[in-house]
Structure 1
Amino acid sequence: MPWMFLILAGIAEIAFAICLKFSNQFTRPIPTILFILFAAISFFLMTNAMKTIPMGTVYAVWTGIGAAGTIILSILFFNEPLSIARGIFLLLLLVSIVGLKLSE
């Protein structure tokens, strides 16, 4: 269950990053409220994961899921570029996340 909390926390991190973009520097109320909501959910789930998973692993996986997911969604929906180097480093990030889970 702690790993499920951690995965959901990472997904909530992706959501709050996307809401942050749509908040337009916190000038749009609905995306700003959603940003706060998803951030709170993410931190709540992350702290629950820390009850049994080491803090360093939790933080690395949480930021990794958030970063990888945000990059992927930015490429798909915001027309950010995908270069060969960026793709390789994204793949390395995903391999690192899986490696941390497998080494648990």
Structure 2
Amino acid sequence: MYWFVLIVSGLLEAVWAVALAKTEGFTRLGPSLLFGGALVVSMGGLAYGLREIPVGTGYAVWVAVGAVTTAVYGMIALGEPASLARILCLVLIVSGVIGLKLVS
């Protein structure tokens, strides 16, 4: 259950990151509210996961899930470049996190 909550919290990190970009400096109410809500729930899930998961591994997984999800969303939905080099870097992030999980 801790791992599931941690992964969902990482996905919510991507939600608040994208919402933050849409707030236009917190001048737009809807995205600002989405940002705040997703941030609180994401941090709460991270805190819950760290009850059982080592902090170094848990935080790395949370950040990686959020970063990779945000980058992939940017490439698919926002037209950001999807070069081979960027995709390879994302694969390296995922590989590193899997390695951390395996050795912890």
Q: TM-score range by the shorter chain?
A: over 0.9
* Residues 65, 97 of structure 1: 8 Å contact kept: no
Per the alignment, residue 64 of structure 1 pairs with 64
**Any unmatched runs of 5+ in structure 1?**
none
How far apart are the structure 2 equivalents of 1:10 and 1:103? 20
The residue correspondences of 1:12-27 to structure 2 (distance < 5 A) are 12-27=12-27
User: Identity of counterpart residues, as a percentage?
Assistant: 36
TM-score, normalization by structure 1: 0.95
RMSD: 0.9
Unpaired segments ≥5 residues, structure 2: none
After superposition, the C-alpha distances for 1:9-67 in whole angstroms (9 at most, x for unaligned) are 10110110111111111110010011000000000000000101111111111111110
TM-score, L = length of structure 2: 0.95
Equivalences, count: 104
Counterparts of 2:99 and 2:22, CA distance in 1: 33
> Contact between 1:13 and 1:38, CA under 8 Å: does it hold in 2?
yes
Q: Secondary structure at the match of 2:79?
A: coil
The letter of the residue matching 1:88 is L
